[in-house]
Amino acid sequence: MESDEEDFVFYGTPIEREDDLTSRKKKAIAEASGQLRTLPAWKQEVRDEEGRRRFHGAFTGGYSAGYYNTVGSKEGWAPRSFKSSRKNRAEFKEQNILNFLDEDEKAEMEGRLLGTTSQFDTFGFTAAEIARKQAEKEQKQRPSIIPGPAPDEIVVPATESVGVKLLLKMGWSRGRSIKDSHSDALYDARRQARRAFLAFSSDDPAVKITESEPIWGDSENFPEQLANDEQFSKSTPVFVLNPKEDLYGLGFDPYKHAPEFREMKRPRVSSMRGPGYSKNLSTRDSLFGLKSGKAAPGFGIGALEEHDAEDEDVYATGFEIEDAYVQEVEEPSTLSLENPKKKEQKNQGDLPGFRVASNSDYKMERFEPPLIPKDFVPHHEFSGPLDINCKGCEVTPPDVSPPQNGNLKLLIDGVANLVAKCGKLYEDLSREKNQTNPLFSFLSGGTGHDYYTRKLWEAQQKCNDQTSQQLDGKMPPSVQRLTAESRGKILGEKSLKKSAQDPSSSIASTDIQLQFNLTDTFTKSASFSELMDIEKPFKDDPAKQERFEQFLKEKYKGGLRSASSSLAGDMTESARAKERLSFEAAAEAIEKGRQGRGSKPSIASSMDFIPGGVMQFTSSEVERKKDPLVEDILSKKMYPKREEFQWRPSPLLCKRFDLIDPYMGKPPPAPRIRSKMDSLIFTSDSVKVNKVDGPVFSKKDITPLQQLTNDDMTKSFTENKTEGDVEVENIERPVDLYKAIFSDDSDDEGEDPSIKRVENPEKKAEVANTALSRLIAGDFLESLGKELGIEVPPDMPYPAQKSRNVASQKEIVNEDSKIDILKSENNGVMSSNHDIPYDQHISHEAGASKGDTIHGNMLESSNITTKGTGIIDSKPAKSNGNNIEDDKKIKTSLICRQDHGSSSEEERSRKGTNREKSEEYKKVKTPGTHRRDYSSSFSIEEERSRKHSRHHRRKRHDGGSDSASDDERDRYSSRSKGRRKGSSRSEKHSKHHKHRKLPSRSSRYYNDKDNSYSKREKKRRE
Amino acid sequence: MRVEDLPRKEVNVLKGHEGGVLAARFNGDGNYCLSCGKDRTIRLWNPHRGIHIKTYKSHAREVRDVHVTPDNSKLCSCGGDRQVFYWDVATGRVIRKFRGHDGEVNGVKFNEYSSVVVSAGYDQSLRAWDCRSHSTEPIQIIDTFADSVMSVSLTKTEIIGGSVDGTVRTFDIRIGREISDNLGQPVNCVSMSNDGNCILAGCLDSSLRLLDRSTGELLQEYKGHTNKSYKLDCCLTNTDAHVTGGSEDGFIYFWDLVDASVVSRFRAHTSVVTSVSYHPKENCMVTSSVDGTVRVWKT
């Protein structure tokens, strides 16, 4: 509308219609025209533009003058300049009157402002100001190198005040003091007159006193007087010597013309401080003492006035009584004026009325030093004999290689340790006891005696070291005693085995193994496996048992390891590899069993080793599979579990639910503690499984095992055993290693997702670093192999769901290969159930992917691990039963990789059969298209692509990175990671949760793909 | 209730969804039903006459769950686009979008007063959204779950969530307690019995579990169907006499509530039965399936 009107041009005044003009408006117009102004003030009405009366002030009944509640202007009252002092405090200026003046007022004021003219500007301030202003003005006009006004210090006014000019004209020269010389003459005359008068009215000594004083007084007031008049003196202010102590007005001097009385005043003042003797002075020596005795201290009394009764000192009453205590007599009767002064100074700090005593009762007590008996010889004898030095010079037994028999060696070690600790007596005792036992022949010079003596010596050295260190810490351990071995012991290393020991070894692998074992010595503690020898899982086959023991020794002891072929030289490589796997499994089972026993002695490890076969390590899981009912009962016992926590609904939620906030007014609750332990500890899981299984089955295993242990243990061993046991308990897997590799799932999941997001990058980087260093330093594969040993046996017979879980949980490199073996061997059995191969594929893949990621790291970090990878990668080939040629290549580390292309091809083809079955299975399940998106069942395409990607991965192993497969690989890894994520998440709920992991995974699966991008990044960083 | 009274006769087939239907829900009085699916739409039907009434389109991904207020005026829905939508039923417009879930949203429900929408997400959280104010921030985030929350159910005073971590957690607003019932199996679906004393939890080990709410006791387990990888719904009949649920093989199962025997099973769909919803009063049931249909069953 408005825009329309703007287009037109109007001429003239539009005629307003009558009804438009309300009466109010009329009034407003009338007011505007000034009609109302004629009215008196109280009758005037204020109206707004609309003509409405402005009512203002309900109680006063008044009408506002225009702009109500304001200062009467349209803008209202606003401070001239409002500045928040919050931010710029420095800029906030103080107001002065000019701030409140209008311009015209200022102009008015300008003329009336007082100022000194330059003529009377004594100190030149005004001149300086003017000069400065002038300089500023000029500064603005001319360009200058120095921007801004010139500093004041530089621009000094060149004017002289009138006073200075006058003085100069009067003959004053600069630097000279200004003094009236005539005043002195007048003063002197007046003083002479006063002296004469006083001489009449007072005693003689008083006159003497006054005569001696005036000069001093004068010199105080007029210091210049003493100086030569001609002397130049700076006109600096006189230093005030006497602080003002009186109550006179400032500048008032009652003794102005009578300096004599000033001296009289002085003792008066001091009498206030020390009332004792000064009282005497005041009475005796005062000028007016004769007349009144108590005169006011000259307050308001002129020198020439008479003393009346009213002048008596009304305040100084109490002193008369105290006079009795004053030792007047002892004072010299005639006191010179200097004396009291001196006395004052001397006695300052003493209490008045007291004097320093001449003799004191207190005496410093001194004691005589004790008398040394005459027969004392200053020589200390220590209670214990220091026999270290004697021992050091003992002949060191030659270093002897330990006996071949591991048991014997252990025995000797143990006995030596004991003897060293308990003394020779023990040796004799055991020798006596085991006279007939051929094992203990080393005590009496039989086989291994040399080794025993050596060991004993070492142990004694060790003991001595400890005792000597306790006895005196100062004594440095002698260098000769610190042999390499003892040092190694101190550092917790294990002695390397003599390489001469292994007679027939494939030399190709020894150097690699050396590295292995070297790292082992640092990671393992010495007496780990001492018990391992005692448990004999392969007791049916003594040769194999021996090999197993050898294996254990290698596994846990480290040191230079004899090649595995030393004992089983006749075996083929493939058989040996299989055996090795079974050994590992058995070892883990033993260890697990022991751990289980450590906490629950009644439960025995449930090992059931079938010698000879491939399925040698059938552990408790087999039985578990057989016993679904038992498991069911167990699960029913465990679930549902009810827990209660505090939970705080937000107040708004309560409001919306129309409920009263239960936490109204209460402080916020502490965040719930989520223990990190359940996600961190890997071992607990396996142990738990064992515990749960324990009571259900394999009771029969208990007895033979325990018997075994009992049989093999001699008395001397028991102690060692317990020691070993304890140590075994303490040995943990390198947790941070796992954390490093699988950090994102292991410890993060328990936490809040948001926290996770924040922490992850740093943590991972840090952890990855430690992992890398560990990879280089430690034996990575070895530990993984141990992991494998723990986990594989439970998985094997229970592949459908378990295997995947464990694969995702433990990420074992060897796993896939193992499963391969299993599969290839047991195809006949397994194919009867279609589900199992299908699922096994999955688990297999999971394991493979994990292994691959690890491989990648290893290849980059070090080549220590080459042997391990070789073994692992070659397993599939082996499992295919290809040939021995392949197997031999395994040993030669890297070369074998080239075979994988072909081997994996074969593997794929073999899998093809399985896959077909699983496909069938799936077809029954669902139609393909929808399923893939929403649900998690693996579609055919995906599986294929996975296989594909796996193939590519292998290619990557072969040397080059395959960019084409990158995406798939990443996706896959992320997927497998997701799987892991879930599994670790529920680790805390022991085994039964594992069952649901499969479905859980699958129900969440569709998300994995979406998250894969972010996860992929993570993975890469790893 | 006799077995013959169970809704086993197909009355109508509601076709219209392209792709799988992920949920079908009766409204409060049972006169209408809503379905949502992978075609990113929500559809409103009259199941008794088999008429498609309206389609609600705004989701960017599949719609996983939908719920309607008791007064039929508002809808809420959620899905793969990580958002919870608050719809006006009549106009078909989105009133509000609640963003905040870090992952897909699996389930959504109104509270009794339709003032709060509670959603269950893959991000292991339950979130309560305010419909009254204009705030799009959640008024409460419950993140004590250890895994994806699959389903949510509300009473007057409680929020009940079922999660893949195997727990059914009941959050009692009135007393400020969280009660966690660990079933040991991933929970797909939680639904309340009509008397409010029990929770029926669908687990991924192909079993439904009936829990006593007050004690947390496992009252019964219902087995026979297949549910290993899909999110399947389950519910009790309106008389609480039977338990019903779909199966991944396209069957619908009816169990006796007390003795857990399979009273009836029949093939309802050609594919996975994703959702079942029982009429609040009559013997009527709607089921949805991945095959793209919603079927109405009556006696």
Between A101 and A526, the more confident residue is A101
A757 close to B (CB below 8 A): no
**Residue A462 confidence (pLDDT):** 74
pLDDT above 90 covers a percentage of chain B that reads 28
Q: Is A675 on the interface with B (CB under 8 A)?
A: no
pLDDT band at A400 (very low <50, low <70, confident <90, very high): low
Q: What is the pLDDT averaged over residues B206-227?
A: 88
Cβ–Cβ contact A635 with B under 8 A: yes
Q: Which of A485, A510, A541 is the last residue of a domain?
A: A485
Q: What is the mean pLDDT of chain B?
A: 89
Q: For chain A, give the number of residues.
A: 1022
**What CATH number is attached to the domain comprising A471?**
1.10.10.790
pLDDT given for residue B152 in this prediction: 92
The string of pLDDT tens digits covering residues A431-449 is 777 777 777 777 777 777 7
How far is A661 from chain B, CA to nearest CA, in Å? 7
Selected residue of A639, A657, A1002, A1005 to mutate for chain B interface (largest B Cβ count, 10 A): A657
Amino acid B120: pLDDT: 92
* Averaged pLDDT for residues A544-560: 67
Query: Alpha-carbon distance A278 to A266, whole Å?
Result: 11
Please give the share of chain A, as a percent, with pLDDT higher than 70: 21
**A300 found inside a domain:** yes
Mean pLDDT, rounded, for A971-982? 42
Residue B8: pLDDT band (50, 70, 90) is confident
Q: What is the pLDDT of residue A571?
A: 62
For chain B positions 176-195, those within 8 Å of chain A (CB to CB) are 176-186, 188
pLDDT in tens, A612-626: 333 444 444 444 444
- Alpha-carbon distance of A958 to A218, in angstroms, equals 115
Interval B173-189: pLDDT, tens: 888 888 998 888 899 89
pLDDT for position B42: 92
**Is a pLDDT exceeding 50 seen at residue A768?**
yes
What pLDDT sits at residue A952? Answer: 46
The pLDDT value recorded for residue B288 is 92
Tell me the one-letter amino acid at B268: A
pLDDT in tens, A479-535: 455 666 667 677 766 555 544 444 444 444 444 444 444 444 444 444 444 444 445
A98 occurs within a structural domain: no
Dihedral sign, Cα of residue A405, residue A408, residue A414, residue A419? negative
Residue A318 confidence (pLDDT) above 90 = no
A300 and A160 share one domain: no
Q: Is there a contact between A652 and B130 if contact means CB atoms under 8 Å apart? A: yes
For residue B171, pLDDT beyond 60: yes
CB proximity under 8 Å: A 975-994 to B: 982, 985-986, 989, 992-993
B66 band by pLDDT with thresholds 50, 70 and 90: very high
* Mutation to test the A interface, candidates B82, B140, B152, B172, most A Cβ within 10 Å: B140
Give the per-residue pLDDT at A366. 82
- At residue A785, the pLDDT reads 54
Measured between beta carbons, the chain B residues lying within 8 angstroms of A998 are 228
pLDDT score recorded for residue A987: 40
CA A69 to chain centre: 60
* Boundary of a domain, candidates A346, A379, A410: A346
Classify residue A226: in a domain, yes or no: yes
B130 contacts on A by Cβ (under 8 Å): 652, 656
More confident residue, A740 or A134: A134
Shared-domain flag, residues A269 and A295: yes
* A194 and A326 together in one domain: yes
Q: Which residue of chain A has the CA closest to B127? A: A653
Say whether residue B38 is in contact with chain A using an 8 A CB cutoff: yes
Q: Could you tell me if B150 and B183 are in contact, meaning their C-beta atoms sit under 8 angstroms apart?
A: no
b/e code A79-92 from CB counts within 10 Å (16+ = b): eeeeeeeeeeeeee
Tokens of A78: 């606003």
Which positions in chain A touch B122 (Cβ < 8 Å)?
Answer: 1004, 1007
At A409, the pLDDT band (50, 70, 90 cuts) reads confident
Residue A389 lies inside a defined structural domain of this protein = no
- Which tokens sit at A371? 């008398």
Res. A264 pLDDT band, cuts 50 70 90: confident
Do A313 and A209 lie in one domain? The reply is yes
pLDDT band at A47 (very low <50, low <70, confident <90, very high): low
| Confidence (pLDDT) at A14 | 74
Q: Does B49 touch chain A (CB under 8 A)?
A: no
Tell me the pLDDT band of A30, cut-offs 50, 70 and 90.
low
Closest to B205 (Cβ–Cβ): which among A636, A996, A1010?
A996
- Higher-confidence residue: A555 or A588? A588
Regarding predicted confidence, which is higher, A921 or A120? Answer: A120
User: A465-479, A833-847, B93-107, B253-267: which range is least confident on average?
Assistant: A833-847
Among A974-978, B50-54, B191-195, name the one with the lowest average pLDDT: A974-978
Q: Which ipTM value was assigned to this complex?
A: 0.88
The pLDDT-based confidence of A836 (bands split at 50, 70, 90) is very low
Cβ B165–A933 below 8 Å, yes or no? no
Residues of A in contact with B231 (CB under 8 A): 1003
B82 to chain A: closest CA residue: A1007
**For residues A977 and A985, what is the distance between their CA atoms, to the nearest angstrom?**
12
**In this complex, which of A641, A657, A934 lies closest to B182 when CB atoms are compared?**
A641
B291 touches B15 (CB < 8 A): no
Q: How far away is chain A from the Cα of B98, in angstroms, using its nearest Cα?
A: 16
Q: In this structure, are strands B284-289 and B293-298 parallel, antiparallel, or unpaired? A: antiparallel
The mean pLDDT of B229-245, rounded to a whole number, is 89
Residues A752-767: pLDDT tens digits? 444 444 445 445 555 5
What b-and-e string marks burial along A375-412, b requiring 16 or more CB atoms within 10 Å of the CB? Answer: eeeeeeeeeeeeebeeeeeeeeeeeeebbeebebbbbb
Write down how long chain B is: 299
Taking the CA atoms of residue A415, residue A420, residue A422 and residue A423 in that order, the dihedral angle to the nearest 10 degrees is: 110
Question: Best interface-test mutation with A: which of B204, B215, B217, B232 has the largest number of A CBs within 10 A?
Answer: B204
Given this model, what pLDDT does residue B135 score?
A: 85
- Say whether pLDDT at A376 is over 80: yes
CA distance B113 to chain A (A): 7
Residue whose pair of structure tokens reads 């117009």 in the numeric block: A29
In a shared domain, residues A1007 and A908: yes
Residue B209 sits at the chain A interface (C-beta within 8 Å) = yes
Q: What is the mean pLDDT of residues A535-549?
A: 69
Tokens at residue B112, please?
A: 């009794």
Distance (Å) from the C-alpha of residue A925 to the closest C-alpha of chain B?
A: 7
- Residues A246, A325 share a domain: yes
Are the C-beta atoms of B286 and B33 separated by less than 8 Å?
yes
pLDDT band at A576 (very low <50, low <70, confident <90, very high): confident
Nearest to A1000 among B186, B218, B270 (CB): B186
Which residues in B lie closer than 8 A to residue A635 (C-beta atoms)?
Answer: 184
Task: Supply the mean pLDDT for chain A.
Answer: 55
- Tell me whether residue A787 is in a domain: no
* A:823-882 residues touching chain B, CB 8 A cutoff: none
Instruction: Flag whether A309 is in a domain.
Output: yes
To test the contact with chain B by mutation, choose from A633, A635, A653, A663 the residue with the greatest count of B C-beta atoms within 10 A, namely: A653
Give the model's confidence band at A143: pLDDT under 50 very low, under 70 low, under 90 confident, else very high.
low
Residue B108 pLDDT greater than 90, yes or no? yes
What values do phi and psi take at A430, rounded to 5?
-70, -30
pLDDT of residue A212: 42
DSSP A305: P
SS3 of residue A215 by DSSP: helix
**Alpha-carbon gap, residue A568 to B17, rounded angstroms:** 69
Residue A733 lies in a domain: no
Quick one: pLDDT band at residue A146, thresholds 50, 70, 90?
low
User: What is the rounded distance in angstroms from the CA atom of residue A159 to the CA atom of residue A122?
Assistant: 10
Residues A987-1001: tens digit of each pLDDT:
444 344 434 433 344
Give the mean model confidence (pLDDT) for residues A332-336: 43
φ/ψ of residue A140, rounded to 5: -65, -35
Q: Which of B165, B216, B270 sits opposite A642 (nearest CB)?
A: B216
| pLDDT at A514 (0 to 100) | 44
Residues A266 and A327 placed together within one structural domain of the fold? yes
**Which residue is closest to B104 within chain A, CA to CA?**
A1007
For residue B20, what are its two tokens?
A: 């799988």
**Domain, as residue range, for A145:** 125-169
Q: What residues of A are in contact with residue B166 (Cβ under 8 Å)?
A: 639, 986, 989, 993, 996, 1000
Query: A410 with A454, same domain?
Result: yes
At A696-752, the pLDDT tens digits run 343 444 444 444 444 444 444 444 444 444 444 444 444 555 555 555 544 444 444
Contacts of B156 in chain A (CB under 8 A): 657
* Structural domains counted in chain A: 5
Please report the domains of chain B, with CATH numbers, ordered by start residue. Answer: 3-298 (2.130.10.10)
Torsion of CA A804, A808, A812, A814, to 10 degrees: 30
Query: Does pLDDT of B86 surpass 70?
Result: yes
Distance (Å) from the C-alpha of residue B96 to the closest C-alpha of chain A? 17
The reply to whether A226 and A144 lie within a common domain is no
In this complex, the residue of A645, A654, A982 whose CB is nearest that of residue B173 is: A654
pLDDT tens for residues B12-32? 898 888 888 999 999 888 889
Same domain, A271 and A404: no
Q: Which residue has the higher pLDDT, A36 or A934?
A: A36
Residues A284-323, buried b or exposed e (16+ Cβ, 10 A)? ebbbbbeeeebbbbbeebebeeeeeeebebeebeebeeee
- For residue A78, pLDDT beyond 70: no
More confident of the two residues A554 and A699: A554
- Looking at the predicted structure, is the pLDDT value of residue B282 above 70? yes
Q: Is the pLDDT of residue B93 over 50?
A: yes
Closest-CA residue in chain B for A672? B144
Domain end residue (candidates: A485, A509, A527): A485
A317 and A456 belong to one structural domain: no
A592-641 pLDDT tens trace: 665 544 444 433 333 444 443 334 444 444 444 444 555 555 555 667 77
Contact present, A823 and A830 (Cβ < 8 Å): yes
Residues of chain B neighbouring A649 (CB-CB closer than 8 A): 140, 171, 173, 176
Q: Let me know if residue A798 belongs to a domain.
A: no
Residues A419 and A304 in one domain: no
B171 touches chain A (CB under 8 A): yes
Higher-pLDDT residue of A229, A14: A14
Q: What is the mean pLDDT of residues A358-383?
A: 78
Residue A73 has pLDDT above 70, yes or no: no
The token pair at A104 is: 């015209």
